Amino acid sequence: MTKRFFVTGTDTEVGKTFTTQALLRALQARHTGCAVNGFKPLAAGAELIDGQWQNEDGVALQKASSSTLDYPLVNPEVYPQAIAPHIAAMLCQRPIDESNIDNALVQISECSDWLLVEGAGGWHVPFNPQRCFSDWVVAHQLPVILVVGVRLGCLNHALLTVQAIRASRLPLVGWVANHLSEPTEVSHDNVSYLKEAIDAPLLGVLPYSPGSAPVQLATYLDVSALD
């Protein structure tokens, strides 16, 4: 049985992909010989490469995965414009196809022992006017890992996101604090506060380290709570 987790963030641009890559590397180191792969169901913002639209986050997860995976399997729904996915879909006149995402999830799960599914933006990103990404996560009953971008406003964003995840009746199995700038005494205090306020294991605190490879930061993570 594949162990699957959904990685969400407190907002867009909080380092979800970078953190997911580090989590993949940490799981690969802990579970040697297992297939530990990444999955980006939906992405907006892409380049045309060899006749195929590819998103940089999807490419990053493809490269960080244990298995050799075709890009469309890692990122089945992708749109050129780097805007809210449902608006990108509307502009392309191509609605987000949940059945395509579902089929890809089944296929990639079959070749994975561990699978990290990375969301787009924050928890309640819309698929369309009636349905959000979080509804899809609930439908598949994926335990959640939260990435908190440590910056001004992160306390409110983190607590609201935790509340929304709990309201969805999904388990929050852990969270990661990701410093988005050089840490200060205040940012350390923010992490300390959230460590007490969030009823889930802190999997690690990632330092501000532009240019560092995810494999280097995997050592800052303790993924034993995910076993």
Q: List pLDDT tens digits, range 97-141.
A: 999 999 999 999 999 999 999 999 999 999 999 999 999 999 999
pLDDT greater than 90 at residue 21: yes
pLDDT greater than 90 at residue 211: no
Give DSSP secondary structure letters for the chain.
--EEEEEEESSSSSSHHHHHHHHHHHHHHHSTTS-EEEE--EEE--EEETTEEE-HHHHHHHHHSSS---HHHH-SEEESSSS-HHHHHHHHT----HHHHHHHHHHHHHT-SEEEEEEEEETT-EEETTEEHHHHHHHTT--EEEEEEESTTHHHHHHHHHHHHHHTT--EEEEEEEESS---HHHHHHHHHHHHHSSS-EEEEE---TT--HHHHGGGB--GGG-
Residue 210's domain comprises: 3-226
Q: List pLDDT tens digits, range 38-97.
A: 999 999 999 999 899 999 999 999 999 999 999 999 999 999 999 999 999 999 999 999
Has 195 been annotated as catalytic?
Answer: no
* Number of domains composing the chain: 1
Kindly state the percentage of the chain with pLDDT values over 70: 100
The CATH number of the domain where 148 resides is what? 3.40.50.300
Choosing from 3, 40, 63, 195, which is the catalytic residue? Answer: 40
